[in-house]
Amino acid sequence: GAGVSQTPSNKVTEKGKYVELRCDPISGHTALYWYRQSLGQGPEFLIYFQGTGAADDSGLPNDRFFAVRPEGSVSTLKIQRTERGDSAVYLCASSLNSDTEAFFGQGTRLTVV
């Protein structure tokens, strides 16, 4: 595609439910990143994939958060037992490799009620 695509653009879920957020990177980009942006804050790093493997998952806040990228393209961020504090905009970015500019998607706004 022309840019990084994230779906859904908005997601409202009830506390305790499971959610999946999807990221379609730019075709051919091997590096993929997930960030979380809470209201009034800058984006906060969650996880970085190089190909299919998670090169750095140090930003995942706890074991309720998990991300996969099984074929080295599309990635899914999975959140179990959602809490109200998980409400934020989840941003995905991709780059040709880790040394080049990262292009961001428009994000998924997650609201946990």
In angstroms, the Cα distances linking 39 to 28, 32, 51, 107 are 32, 23, 30, 13
In angstroms, give the least distance from the CB of 31 to another protein: 7
Strands of the 19-24 sheet, one edge to the other: 5-7, 19-24, 75-79, 65-68
Q: 77 or 91, CB closer to another protein?
A: 91
CA distance 80 to 57: 17
In angstroms, give the least distance from the CB of 86 to another protein: 19
In angstroms, give the least distance from the CB of 105 to another protein: 5
Q: 92 or 112, CB closer to another protein?
A: 92
3-class secondary structure, 79: strand
**What are the structure tokens assigned to 96, written together?**
């040709």
In angstroms, give the least distance from the CB of 100 to another protein: 8
Q: 19 or 89, CB closer to another protein?
A: 89
Using CB under 8 A, list all residues that contact another protein.
3-4, 31, 33, 35, 40-45, 48, 55-56, 59, 91, 93, 98-107
